[in-house]
Amino acid sequence: MKLKHYQYLHTLDSGSTLYEEYLCTSLNINMNQSMEKVRDEIYKKMEIKAKEWTGKWIIVNGKIFGVEQDFLQSKYEQFVRLDQILAEGDNVKNLHRLLAIYVRPKKWLWKKFRYGIEEYNLNKQDKIANELLDLDMNEANGLILFFYLNVKKCSRNINIYYLNQRKKKINL
- Report which secondary-structure segment, H or E, holds 64: strand 63-67
Q: What is the pLDDT of residue 70?
A: 74
For residue 172, the model assigns a pLDDT of 62
How far apart are alpha carbons 168 and 155 in whole angstroms? 20
Query: What is the mean pLDDT of the segment spanning 65-77?
Result: 80
**What's the pLDDT at 120?**
85
Q: Is the pLDDT assigned to residue 97 strictly greater than 80?
A: yes
Q: Looking at the predicted structure, is the pLDDT value of residue 134 above 80?
A: yes
Beta strand 63-67 pairing with 57-60: antiparallel
Instruction: Enumerate the domain spans of the chain.
Output: 3-46, 57-160
